[in-house]
Amino acid sequence: MNITIDPASPVPAYLQIVQVIRLAILGGRLKEGDQLPPIRELASLAKVNPNTVGRAYGDLEREGLIEGRVGSGSWIRPPGENRETLRRKLLTAAWNEFLAKAQALGFNQDEIHRLTGRNER
Amino acid sequence: MNITIDPASPVPAYLQIVQVIRLAILGGRLKEGDQLPPIRELASLAKVNPNTVGRAYGDLEREGLIEGRVGSGSWIRPPGENRETLRRKLLTAAWNEFLAKAQALGFNQDEIHRLTGRNER
Amino acid sequence: MNITIDPASPVPAYLQIVQVIRLAILGGRLKEGDQLPPIRELASLAKVNPNTVGRAYGDLEREGLIEGRVGSGSWIRPPGENRETLRRKLLTAAWNEFLAKAQALGFNQDEIHRLTGRNER
Amino acid sequence: MNITIDPASPVPAYLQIVQVIRLAILGGRLKEGDQLPPIRELASLAKVNPNTVGRAYGDLEREGLIEGRVGSGSWIRPPGENRETLRRKLLTAAWNEFLAKAQALGFNQDEIHRLTGRNER
DNA sequence: GTGGTCTAGACCACC
DNA sequence: GTGGTCTAGACCACC
């Protein structure tokens, strides 16, 4: 678990932490039964206040992705029935976000392909 | 000029406005000499306070993209020498951001191609 | 009479005009009996609204430096008894302003002399 | 940190604050790691609204001179590579401004030297 | 009308 | 407490 927080980002620190861990779980790098680092340890690594990590863990728990057991740490929960659907939905959303930005910048289909190196063949 | 602000976003309203206009200028949809809507008009369209739009216009002016003339409105300035470089840099950044997210979600090269419909052939 | 106005300056346009003309009179480049350019002409040269020049002329008139005659233009008035005193006072003020800035920037007496090329001999 | 704002000046309050702090940093009176007074405290000392000081701090941050950390104050950043160049440039600019004004007032080289007391010896 | 600045007062994330 | 953002409302210089 290696998290770097950008304190200048408009995205609040606790949300940056939530996003990194959420992606790690959905991407399978954190699996059912894995233990998350203790709040104070992650806080020290990410150079934020323990309260900030605590809030992030709380959000992930409310989403059903992790489970905190007082006195024994926080753990990754088993995948729900629609985790795969969510994973695909997030990929599509990320792709659309990229496309929108590229088009807003005035690039056409061809230029996008060329500059992102995807005309391999 | 059609801007919708998400008040729930962690990105502050003034920054959302800056980003939309910056992309429109870099993408060529707003050109040298075009006039931006008056602060109060855009504020009313985007449902924010005039001060918020004013701050966004001020940031764009400090970036050299627009120019405000008291009493007569705000205008798009001629492109600087490295606007094209900036445009390409932003495209690459957006692409890398997408790739990072897709990989964090655990998709491999093939899956990414398939789901974003780019192996047409 | 050649005036360039910086519209981005925090000093309002009418004040910039006043200052240039005041210095020209005190410095002797505009003398008793000389005629100032018509308001509309100076406005067009300086690219400002005629009202702005009008206000500047009004201020100079209230200071006793010029005199407007409706229908026949504006004229430089004869020097008052203490114009020489004022001239010296403005020089001293300008010098003190420079010294204050140089010292605020952390330069000592020697460096100031060296960098402003005044240890000739 | 002792700042007096002239509310009658054409230079806006936030800019007066920026200029004082910028000079203090470039002149070395505020050094890397020094803490600026809290926004609300300086606002009270200078008798302006906290927002006005906040805008000044924001400008200094965008210039790279200071850094604000939410919850823990604002700090002087380490000098960039060209701070010395900037310092000299500002001195030269101030000197040229003085010279221009003295000459506009009709003083010649000799008179300037005599009245600013710099031909001592 | 138009941009620019300011005050008073509020709420937020984080310490 | 501390910086950051925002609204409501005001006034200014200039058009």
User: Do residues D67 and D27 both lie within one domain?
Assistant: yes
Interatomic CA–C1' length for residue B94 and nucleotide F4, angstroms? 26
Which chains would you list as touching A if contact means 3+ CB atom pairs under 8 Å?
A: B
Site of tokens 């990229």:
A98
Q: Is A92 close to B105, i.e. CB distance below 8 A?
A: no
Instruction: Report pLDDT digits (tens) over C89-120.
Output: 999 999 999 999 999 999 998 888 887 765 54
Whole-model pTM: value is: 0.87
Interatomic CA–C1' length for residue B24 and nucleotide F6, angstroms? 25
User: Do residues D38 and D56 both lie within one domain?
Assistant: yes
Judged against a pLDDT cut of 60, whether residue B119 lies above it is answered with: no
Is D94 within the bounds of a domain?
yes
Give dist(CA D35, CA D66) in Å, integer. 9
User: Which are the contacts of B92, defined by CB distance < 8 A and separation ≥ 6?
Assistant: A115, A116
Contact criterion met (CB below 8 Å) for D40 and D48: no
User: Do residues A19 and A72 both lie within one domain?
Assistant: yes
Per-residue pLDDT averaged across B22-37, rounded? 95
Chain B residues with beta carbon closer than 8 angstroms to that of A22: none
Is C33 within the bounds of a domain?
yes
Alpha carbon of B12: minimum distance to chain A alpha carbons (Å): 7
On whether any CB of chain D is under 8 Å from the CB of C53, the answer is no
User: Do residues C58 and C88 both lie within one domain?
Assistant: no
C121 pLDDT tier (thresholds 50, 70, 90): very low
B82 pLDDT tier (thresholds 50, 70, 90): confident
User: Do residues B65 and B18 both lie within one domain?
Assistant: yes
Give dist(CA C56, CA C78) in Å, integer. 19
Per-residue pLDDT averaged across C42-59, rounded? 93
Is B97 within the bounds of a domain?
yes
C-alpha distances out from residue D88 to B13, B119, C115, C117, D83, Å: 39, 58, 8, 13, 9
What was the pLDDT predicted at C69? Answer: 85
Residue A68: count other Cβ atoms within 10 Å of its Cβ. 16
Regarding predicted confidence, which is higher, D119 or C32?
Answer: C32
On whether any CB of chain A is under 8 Å from the CB of B70, the answer is no
Instruction: Look up the domain containing B100 and give its range.
Output: 83-115
Give dist(CA C52, CA C12) in Å, integer. 9
The residues close to strand F, meaning Cβ under 7 A, are: A 10; B 12-15, 47-52, 55, 70-72; C 12-15, 48-49, 51-52, 55; D 36, 38-41, 50-51, 54, 57-58, 61, 68-74
What was the pLDDT predicted at B118? Answer: 59
Amino acid in position D16: Q
Q: Which of residues 89 through 108 in chain D touch C, CB cutoff 8 A?
A: 90-92, 94-95, 97-98, 101-107
Give dist(CA D26, CA D90) in Å, integer. 10
User: Do residues A46 and A90 both lie within one domain?
Assistant: no
Residue A33: count other Cβ atoms within 10 Å of its Cβ. 9
What was the pLDDT predicted at C81? Answer: 83
Q: Residue B79: helix, strand or coil by DSSP? A: coil
What was the pLDDT predicted at D80? Answer: 85
User: In the Cβ-directed half-sphere of B60, how many Cα atoms lie within 13 Å?
Assistant: 29
Give dist(CA B22, CA B15) in Å, integer. 10
User: Do residues D18 and D64 both lie within one domain?
Assistant: yes
Instruction: Report pLDDT digits (tens) over D22-53.
Output: 999 999 999 999 999 999 999 999 999 999 99
Per-residue pLDDT averaged across B84-102, rounded? 93
Judged against a pLDDT cut of 70, whether residue A42 lies above it is answered with: yes
**Residue percentage of chain A with pLDDT more than 90:** 73
Chain A residues with beta carbon closer than 8 angstroms to that of B23: 101, 104-105
Alpha carbon of D34: minimum distance to chain C alpha carbons (Å): 17
Interatomic CA–C1' length for residue B38 and nucleotide E3, angstroms? 9
Is D1 within the bounds of a domain?
no
Is C2 within the bounds of a domain?
no
Task: List the single residue in B with minimal CA-CA distance to A115.
Answer: B92
Task: List the single residue in B with minimal CA-CA distance to A94.
Answer: B98
Per-residue pLDDT averaged across A87-93, rounded? 93
Give dist(CA D104, CA B60) in Å, integer. 37
Per-residue pLDDT averaged across B1-13, rounded? 91
D118 pLDDT tier (thresholds 50, 70, 90): low
Judged against a pLDDT cut of 80, whether residue C1 lies above it is answered with: no
Cα–Cα nearest to B56, from B5, B1, B18, B30: B18
What was the pLDDT predicted at A120? Answer: 47
User: Do residues B70 and B23 both lie within one domain?
Assistant: yes
Q: B116, B119, B121: which to substitute to probe chain A, counting the most A Cβ within 10 Å?
A: B116
Q: Which nt sits closest to C51, CA to C1'?
A: F14
Q: Is B41 left (phi over 0), alpha (psi -120 to 50) or beta?
A: alpha
Nearest CA to the C1' of F7 belongs to which residue? B49
**Mean pLDDT computed over every residue of chain A:** 90
Per-residue pLDDT averaged across C52-68, rounded? 93
User: Do residues B69 and B87 both lie within one domain?
Assistant: no
What was the pLDDT predicted at A115? Answer: 75
User: Do residues A19 and A57 both lie within one domain?
Assistant: yes
CATH number of the structural domain spanning residue C32: 1.10.10.10
B17 pLDDT tier (thresholds 50, 70, 90): very high
Residue B35 tokens read as 């006039």
User: Do residues B71 and B56 both lie within one domain?
Assistant: yes
B51 pLDDT tier (thresholds 50, 70, 90): very high
Lowest mean pLDDT, pick from A3-7, A9-13, D105-109, D113-117: D113-117
Interatomic CA–C1' length for residue D49 and nucleotide E9, angstroms? 11
Nearest CA to the C1' of F8 belongs to which residue? B49
Give dist(CA C86, CA D84) in Å, integer. 37
Is D4 within the bounds of a domain?
no
Q: Which nt sits closest to B52, CA to C1'?
A: F6
**Mean pLDDT computed over every residue of chain B:** 91
Is C71 within the bounds of a domain?
yes
Residue A77: count other Cβ atoms within 10 Å of its Cβ. 16
Annotate A6-52 with three-state secondary structure: CCCCCCCHHHHHHHHHHHHHHCCCCCCCCECCCHHHHHHHHCCCHHH
Domain count, chain C: 2
Cα–Cα nearest to C39, from C24, C20, C22, C57: C57
Judged against a pLDDT cut of 80, whether residue D1 lies above it is answered with: no
**Mean pLDDT computed over every residue of chain D:** 91
Alpha carbon of D80: minimum distance to chain C alpha carbons (Å): 16
A118 pLDDT tier (thresholds 50, 70, 90): low
Chains D and C touch (3+ CB pairs under 8 A): yes
Interatomic CA–C1' length for residue D51 and nucleotide E10, angstroms? 12
What was the pLDDT predicted at C118? Answer: 59
Is B68 within the bounds of a domain?
yes
Q: Is C11 close to D10, i.e. CB distance below 8 A?
A: yes
Give dist(CA A95, CA C83) in Å, integer. 73
User: Do residues C87 and C70 both lie within one domain?
Assistant: no
Interatomic CA–C1' length for residue A48 and nucleotide F4, angstroms? 18
C-alpha A119, offset from chain centre: 29
Note the strand F nucleotides within 7 A of protein beta carbons: 1-10, 13-15
